[in-house]
Amino acid sequence: MNFTPTDEESMTYLTIANITLLTSLYTNGFLNSDYYRNMRWRQSLENVSIIKNILEQRGLDNPSMMLMQMYGLFVLPKELLGAEYEGLCKNGFDTLIIQKQKGVQTTYQNEDSNNLQSINFYRHIRNAISHARYDYYTLDGAAYVRFKDSSSNNTQQFSVDILTEDISDLCDYLCNTLMEFVNNRILRRQTNCQEN
């Protein structure tokens, strides 16, 4: 019996496929390819000129693309797949963030900037992305992103700084974990069906 993915699982697969495609295009120098230089566009010539100028200046790994990728890897899975995925993903993600972070501030209750294991980085960064609370800045020639979260009454604050070049490692981890989660979920349904 061959199980097809649920609508939520299909949307998750499509998100991973799109992110992987865009990342691969960037990694393989798509903007320098003959295909890109000669491709047909669906926008007006004036708009194409503007779009090409932006892409050539900022590249495919620009802040907007990073935000779209991270939205697809943080916010959509929670909405589509629920808390089970978040629980699976959190510990490995938090461990990776602890290794990659370049500065952390928190005033959240039960969290301590001197004890990074006490911080729920996954939740804070997901909140920052879903509410567009992040800044990009450059310091000593290095580009950073600062994710910010706050409680609903702004009495508790959180921020973490990460090199923008490390965002791809975070996205790779999330893509792999998300794909494994959906694959295993489908496999469990197949196994349960065969047992019944």
Judging by beta carbons within 10 Å of its beta carbon (0-12, 13-18, 19+), is residue 61 exposed, middle or buried? middle
The pLDDT assigned to 58 comes to 85
Per DSSP, helices labelled H in 82-162 are 83-100, 121-130
The pLDDT assigned to 2 comes to 56
Q: Structure pTM?
A: 0.84
Could you report the per-residue pLDDT of 63-113, keeping only the tens digit for each?
Answer: 888 888 989 998 888 888 887 887 778 888 999 999 999 999 999 999 999
Using alpha carbons, select from 20, 100, 29 the residue that is nearest to residue 125.
100
Could you report the per-residue pLDDT of 137-184, keeping only the tens digit for each?
Answer: 999 999 999 999 999 898 999 999 999 889 888 989 999 999 999 998
Secondary structure of the chain: what % helix, strand, coil (to 5)?
Answer: 65, 15, 20
Domain boundaries, the chain: 7-195
* Lowest-confidence segment of 9-13, 55-59, 138-142 by average pLDDT: 55-59
The pLDDT assigned to 1 comes to 41
Contact 27, 61 (CB under 8 A): no
